[in-house]
Structure formats: C-alpha cells, structure tokens
C-alpha cells in the first residue's frame, strides 16, 4: 500500500507531480486557454463583483492561505484577509459587502475551520471550500467546492495536499482576475502555460532527493532551525519550519526575512542553521542583505533558490538550486526540497514519520 516506499509521507511527496496534474486536469482546456468556473458554484458575474476575500484555515492549509493572499492581491487586485480558523471563529468579523469566504481544508473535517465556515454562512457571506476529501463536511456545507485531486493523504504531515491547494488557489486567482477583466488574453494564457509546466518541474525538483539526504546527514543533530523568506517565499518558510518541527521534533521557526532583525537574529551564533528560501524576483536583493547579516554571525546558511546569482551562492554554506518557473509557482517547487529535508532529518532521528507524537491527521475537536 506504500507502493514500495518506506513511509506514506515519502510516497505522498513523490506523488506530487501526479497529484498536481490531476488537480489541473479538467480545469484548463487542452489548448491551455480557459479555466472552468462552473464547479465553484459562483457565477462569472458574481465573481467579477467580489470586493474582498477571506481565506481561513489551520496549520499547513493556513500557509496555503498566505500564498493565496499574495497571488490574489497581485494578480486579481482584490484585497484578501487571511486568518487562522481558531481565531477567526471567535472574532465576530464584520464582513464587508460582496465578500467571498474561502475555507481551505484537506480533510474537510477540521473543527475550527468548519466553525469559521458556518459563521461566514450565517453572516450571509458566499462561501467556498477548497477541499481534498470528497463528500466531507466542509464540501457539503459550503456554497461551492473546489476539489484538490491529490488523492488520499495518509501521512499526518501534509505534503501533496498543500501543493495542490496552491494550484487550486492559482486557478481561482486566474478565474477572478479574468472575471474582473484584469488579464489580457496573452498574459492569461502565459499564466496557464506556466501552470501546465508544473507537474514536470515538480518531477525535476524530486530529483534533488539524494542531495537533500546528504544535507540531512549534516544537520540532523542540530537543535534549532530558522527558515526565512520574503514575499511568496515567506509562507513557504513557515511551511518548511512546520514540516520539520512536526515530524522531527526539532525546534524550527519560520519568519519573514525582514522581521529577522526584530528578534530572531538574537538566536544566531556559529553553526546555527538558517534556511533561506529565495525566488529570483523583486525580493532577491533584499533577502541577500539578510543573508549577509546571518553570515556575519557565522550562521550556517542553507539556500533553496532558482537564482544562480554569484553572490547568493557565495553567501550560502549549502546551495540547493531548484529549477523555477515563476515566483507564484515556485512556492510549489521550493516546498518539495523542504518536505524532503524534514523527512530525511526525521528518519535519521528515528522518528515515527507518518504518525508523529501528539498529532492526529484531522483535528475534529477545537
């Protein structure tokens, strides 16, 4: 049942190219020209009028919300509020008119996420669930459901569910931008073409496994890790840290690289591992200056990037080059080596990777 893999988590990491392809299939016409909206349960005209989006979830799914915020605000020019479901449900949010509430949940059964969804519905807001489990509570209760077709995820640590949530958000962003008349045909098609490259590029990212395994051998005894990134790489850093802590029990923190100076840098001393996630985009130079500060304190810099900039390589103690597509979809590609790093570190530490202590696959109590 593990298809020859030692753990479900490893199998699920390797299933990502297929899971992503399945999530795209049927949503993009074969010529790459159109996203299918019908299943959203929201009319094209209604989508065009959306003035605000709420993205709410727990854990890894919340990190997908943060990625969604960057995508939707940048491409579809619609303000997005993100929140953790356990906070959102009790905040008595005064919803703005013409809002859309989106719950992201792999299982569709997370208690806090369901409570937040019910609160939004009761408030008269249109609701949508981005969900993996067909027929789950969230999928039945929301006005519309957009399924990620990642297949069953058994490992407690979310992997393919997360990357397919990003794909779903990307498709939704394009649908919204198109409905609002914000995308000229040409850029719309190029966004979709990029997406169609993703399964193959995810396959490429998986080929980094041997290198990551070697890296894991170097660092698995470290007691603390810091993960840093800016822009879309910030939520990827949060997710990388969550993956490591939940399965290896190593203390790991994810931070926006720009926040580093406001506290976490106090932790850095010789050999302290700092994982930088760096996309070859607008933020690159800014992140480089954060790296210099870590370097000056003799931290051990591990870089995950699609940039080949000399300075970036020079500042890195270990440099993992990941072939990128574009800053939005690089979130998926960079997540793969981070999942593999967490996995191999946890295995070296003798941890129960698929069923980490104190955790359940779906948290059905608050």
Give the residue numbers marked as catalytic: 361
Q: Which is nearer to ligand M6R, 61 or 303 (CB)?
A: 61
Q: Give me the half-sphere count of Cα atoms (radius 13 Å) on the Cβ side of residue 362.
A: 20
List, as one string, the DSSP characters of 127-182. Answer: EEEEESSTT-HHHHHSSEEEE-------SSS-SHHHHHHHHHHHHHHHHHHHHTT-
The residue among 107 and 327 lying less far from ligand M6R, judged by its C-beta, is: 107
Q: What is the 3-state secondary structure (H, E, C) of 209-273?
A: HHHHHHHHHHHCCCCEEEEEECCCHHHHHHHHHHHHHHHHCCEEEEEEHHHHHHCHHHHCCCCCE
The answer to whether 246 contacts ligand M6R (rule: CB under 6 A) is: yes
Q: Which of 115-123, 229-237, 275-283, 358-366 is the region at the interface with ligand M6R (rule: CB under 6 A)? A: 358-366
Chosen residue from 23, 78, 106, 287 binding ligand M6R by CB under 6 A = 106
Q: Is 126 left (phi over 0), alpha (psi -120 to 50) or beta?
A: beta
Token pair listed for 232: 């879309």
- Give the number of other CB atoms < 10 A from CB of residue 295: 17
Q: What is the 3-state composition of the chain as percent helix, strand, coil, each rounded to the nearest 5?
A: 50, 15, 35
Residue 157 CB, shortest distance to ligand M6R, in Å, is 4
Q: Judged by CB under 6 A, which stretch of 31-39, 52-60, 170-178, 309-317 contacts ligand M6R?
A: 52-60
CA proximity to 175, closest of 330, 17, 39: 39
Among 35, 80, 157, 175, the residue binding ligand M6R under the rule CB under 6 A is 157
Q: Can you tell me which of 105, 127, 248, 331 binds ligand M6R, judged by CB under 6 A?
A: 105
CB of 363 to ligand M6R, least distance (A): 5
Exactly one of 84, 154, 348, 363 binds ligand M6R (CB under 6 A); that residue is 363
Q: Which among 45-53, 155-163, 196-204, 324-332 is the span making contact with ligand M6R, rule CB under 6 A?
A: 155-163
**Is position 111 an interface residue for ligand M6R (rule: CB under 6 A)?**
no
113 forms part of the interface with ligand M6R (CB under 6 A): yes
Q: Looking at beta carbons only, is 113 or 290 nearer to ligand M6R? A: 113
Give the Å distances, CA to CA, from 265 to 136, 252, 253, 315, 343.
43, 14, 12, 17, 26
Nearer to ligand M6R, 157 or 336 (CB): 157
Min CB(345)–ligand M6R separation in Å = 15
Nearer to ligand M6R, 108 or 299 (CB): 108
Tell me if residue 319 falls in helix, strand or coil. Answer: strand
The interface region with ligand M6R, picked from 7-15, 101-109, 230-238, 264-272 by CB under 6 A, is 101-109
Identify the bridge partners of residue 83 per DSSP, sorted by sequence position.
Answer: 56
Residue 91 and residue 117 in contact, taking contact as beta carbons nearer than 8 Å: no
State the nearest-atom distance from the C-beta of 131 to ligand M6R, in Å: 8
Which is nearer to ligand M6R, 58 or 338 (by Cβ)?
A: 58
> Measured from the CB of residue 58, what is the shortest distance to ligand M6R in angstroms?
4
For the CB of residue 221, give the shortest distance to ligand M6R in the complex, in Å. Answer: 23
Which of residues 78 and 148 has its CB atom nearest to ligand M6R in the complex? Answer: 148
**Token digits of residue 365:** 């109590």
Reference 136, options 157, 100, 169, 161; nearest CA is: 161
CB of 31 to ligand M6R, least distance (A): 33
Whether 178 and 37 have beta carbons less than 8 Å apart is answered as no
> Interface with ligand M6R by CB under 6 A: which range of 107-115, 121-129, 288-296, 298-306?
107-115
SS3 of 352, please?
Answer: coil
Q: Is 303 in the site for ligand M6R (CB under 6 A)?
A: no
**Rounded-to-integer distance, Cα 48 and Cα 81, Å:** 18
Q: Taking CB under 6 A as the rule, does residue 59 contact ligand M6R? A: yes
What residues make contact with ligand M6R under the rule CB under 6 A?
A: 58-61, 105-107, 110, 113, 156-158, 246, 359, 362-363
């Amino acid at each position: 049942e593990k298809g020859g893999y030692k753990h479900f988590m490893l199998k699920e990491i390797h299933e990502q190219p297929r899971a992503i392809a399945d999530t795209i299939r049927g949503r993009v016409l074969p010529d790459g020209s159109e996203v299918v909206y019908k299943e959203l349960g929201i009319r094209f005209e209604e989508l065009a009028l959306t003035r605000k989006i709420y993205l709410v979830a727990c854990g890894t799914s919340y990190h997908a919300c943060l990625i969604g915020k960057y995508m939707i605000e940048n491409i579809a020019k619609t303000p997005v509020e993100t929140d953790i479901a356990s906070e959102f449900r009790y905040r008595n949010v005064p919803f703005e008119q013409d809002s859309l509430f989106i719950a992201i949940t792999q299982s569709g059964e997370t208690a806090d996420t369901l409570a937040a969804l019910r609160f939004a519905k009761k408030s008269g807001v249109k609701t949508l669930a981005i969900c993996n489990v067909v027929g789950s509570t969230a999928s039945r209760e929301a006005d519309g459901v957009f399924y990620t077709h990642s297949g069953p995820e058994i490992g407690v640590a979310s992997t393919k569910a997360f990357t397919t949530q990003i794909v779903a958000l990307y498709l939704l962003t394009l649908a919204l931008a198109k409905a609002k008349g914000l995308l000229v045909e040409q850029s719309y098609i190029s966004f979709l073409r990029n997406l169609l490259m993703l399964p193959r590029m995810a396959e490429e990212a998986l080929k980094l496994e041997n290198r990551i395994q070697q890296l894991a051998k170097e660092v698995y005894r470290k007691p603390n890790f810091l993960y840093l990134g800016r822009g879309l790489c910030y939520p990827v850093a949060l997710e990388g840290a969550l993956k490591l802590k939940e399965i290896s029990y190593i203390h790991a923190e994810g931070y926006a690289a720009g926040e580093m100076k406001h506290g976490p840098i106090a932790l850095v001393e010789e050999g302290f591992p700092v994982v930088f996630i760096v996309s070859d985009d607008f933020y690159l130079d800014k992140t480089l200056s954060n790296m210099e500060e870590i370097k000056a304190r003799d931290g051990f810099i591990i870089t995950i990037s699609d940039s080949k900039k000399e300075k970036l390589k020079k500042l890195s103690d270990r440099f993992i080059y990941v072939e990128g597509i574009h800053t939005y979809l690089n979130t998926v590609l960079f997540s793969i080596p981070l999942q593999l790093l967490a996995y191999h570190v946890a295995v070296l530490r003798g941890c129960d990777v698929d069923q980490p202590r104190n955790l359940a696959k779906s948290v059905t109590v608050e």
